[in-house]
A and B are shown apart, each in its own frame.
Chain A
Amino acid sequence: MNYELNTTIANLRDLRGTDLRDYGGVYLGDIYCRLYEANFLERLVDLEEGLRILRDQGKHAYVTTYAAPRNDFLPKLRRVLEVSAKAGAEAVEVHNLGIARIAREEFPQLPLHVGGFANVYTAAGIEVLRGFGAVRFTPNYELSLDEINEIAAAGGAPMELLVHGKMPLGVSDYCFLLEYEEKWGVKCPDLCQKELLLKQGDWAMKSLGKGILSGKDVCMLEHLPRLLAEGHRHFRIETVSESPAYRREVAAVYREALDRAGGGESTVDDRWSETLSRHARIGLCNGFYFGKSGMDYTGIRPNAMGSLLTVSRVES
């Protein structure tokens, strides 16, 4: 069964340092901040090199773009689109409708993937975006699987689903971490490379300064057979600011699990649980896929995934 497992990598250092064997595609760039360390979206020579590396490895080479670009971002983003088109990016991911419009007007040959911050909630919205060259859609993270399937069926459009990793929760124009540079003795752009967590009681969110992510890792491992059965074929592991080991090991779990699920098996291996638990400091959740609060976890095999839920309870 053909499916695509992909992720996001922000800079050349992380791209070169990551074993990509289990990924079929990579989005290059950090969507939150122009000052993110060596962001592909600000270093266009790096972006060209990144696209070359991905092509040489036989990966789908994509470029992402900023989640919340203001007017002063636009000249650079036009250059990003230009480089993407010339250097052979297979698609550009847009989270901002203005960028979709620029791409359509000025680079009509570039296929667009619509990102999670673009707020796709309806099939009618998909229809509008198709008119701007969109060919794949990450629905807003708030949608349940039932709602996603409804718009996929009505819109006849391929969806891309976050299956693992910290779910984006918000984006700001303001990096509050900068207030602490002096006190902590850590400067930008090293600040958001730290594993920073906002906590209160059993609540936790990961901070990237301008970006807020879920504290828990979304985990859809148990539900891969359902996702495949429902026709989904594009899966994202969100690894922004994660370590190369996280990228490699989590992808290996999902690759193996998807291969098994594609072959009709629905077992969950204890080794997978151990790996995912080890990388999920705060625990696991299902996001909004089952119509519940994003931090909830809905296990369909409580025994198999029990160790993960235990970790969630103890550490959150």
Chain B
Amino acid sequence: MVELLAPAGNLPMVEEAVASGANAIYVGPRGWSRRRDRYELSDDDVHAAIRIAHGGGAKLRVAFNTNMQSHEIAPMLRKMEGFVSRGVDGAIMTDIGAIAEVHRHFPSLSIHASIGANILNDEDVRFYRSIGVSQVVADTKLTLRELTSRKQRIDVGIEILIHANMCFTYLGKCWMSPYHRLERTADEYGKDLFKGSPNRGGLDYRVCLESWELYCGEEKWEDRVALKNDAFFLLEDIPHLIDLGVHCLKVQGREYPVPLVGRMVRFYRDLIDAYVASPKGGTFDVSPWRSRLAAIQAERDAARSHGTRMLLAEARQPVPAVPAARRA
């Protein structure tokens, strides 16, 4: 049975996702995942999230999917040890060095390669398998044919983003945001935070969504160029992905309101259950699901547009000369 993996940016979202039918939940320890810190959890809250998830029959994974600094690997391992001792079900990671270290220290812990690892071809998958990864998130640009090849040729878990954002660039291979604004601070525990760099665990200012003018030399050729960027919900592909035997369907969205995430998770729970219960070999009609998804999408789009405007405005703010956390 395919697993439905849901996001949680706070404890109420963990509860909502479990209640809405998620098989597994992922959370980010503060400072260590690809989201701004307000959507990450303290260690105590991660412990609570493990209890809530397990109490509802779901798994709990922790996302340590920043590209961390060398000296942060030791504290990361200590933090991981605390979560492992409390029964965390797996880790979502990006940095190959950190992955190798975690696999060495916790050989029985399931490690999933994050979307930020940008695993594009079958040989990439084999590389990550060789350092201890058991499941990989498929890049959002991959085709069903590429996924089929991967499923047929390699013994690896495949995770598909069914609600996410498809950027203009490959995720994990883009630093447009920190090029324009990077604010380095530190939290109360001394963990470096990189506001503006999603690869390093900070927020992404989404500068690609700016309304760009295009010049050829000094001459303006276009008043507005939009770099292709789509936030998407999969619908028609879901039956194909289940038939293909993918292991996990993942909903992203730690930054969205709790009720909206709950509706996303419930929608996909119902859709997956309906398809699995439908006659094998028959035709599964997704059209009745469209209107329900459209309502969720409209709500998501409104939240996302507002978020993008705020981020672009924030990206224009000057960076304090001395990082706030170090001024005292």
Instruction: Mark A residues whose CB is within 8 Å of B.
Output: 67-71, 73-74, 96-102, 117, 119, 121-129, 132, 140-142, 147, 150-151, 154, 167, 169-174, 176, 180, 184, 194-201, 203, 205, 207, 212, 214, 281, 288, 291-295
Contacts and interface: CB of A to CB of B under 8 A. Distances in A.
B149 A127 contact: no
B67 interface: yes
Given A124-B73, A127-B97, A129-B96, A295 B216 contact: no
B152 to A, nearest CB: 12
Interface of B: 67-71, 73, 94-98, 100-101, 118, 120-128, 130-131, 141-142, 146, 149, 168-170, 172-176, 178-182, 184, 194, 196-197, 199-200, 207, 210-217, 221-222, 225, 227-228, 316, 319
Given A128-B131, A170-B173, A293 B97 contact: no
A71 B151 CA distance: 13
Contact of B169 (A71, A170, A200): A170
B179 A122 contact: no
22 contacts: A68-B118, A98-B121, A98-B125, A100-B127, A119-B95, A119-B172, A124-B98, A124-B101, A129-B96, A140-B199, A142-B178, A170-B174, A170-B175, A170-B176, A171-B169, A172-B169, A174-B168, A180-B221, A201-B316, A212-B169, A288-B175, A288-B178
A96 B216 contact: no
Contacts of B196: 293
Contacts of B118: 68, 119
A79 to B, nearest CB: 15
Given A125-B98, A151-B70, A294-B182, 10 more contacts: A96-B121, A98-B122, A121-B70, A122-B69, A125-B97, A128-B96, A169-B179, A172-B170, A281-B217, A294-B179
B97 A142 contact: no
A67 B179 contact: no
Give the top 4 A-B pairs by smallest Cβ distance, nearest first. A124-B97, A98-B123, A125-B97, A294-B179
Contact of B120 (A70, A125, A200): A70
Given A101-B130, A128-B97, A180 B120 contact: no
A214 to B, nearest CB: 6
B121 A121 contact: no
B175 to A, nearest CB: 5
Contacts of A180: 221-222
A83 B96 CA distance: 29
A121 B214 contact: no
Nearest to B124: A98
A172 B214 CA distance: 18
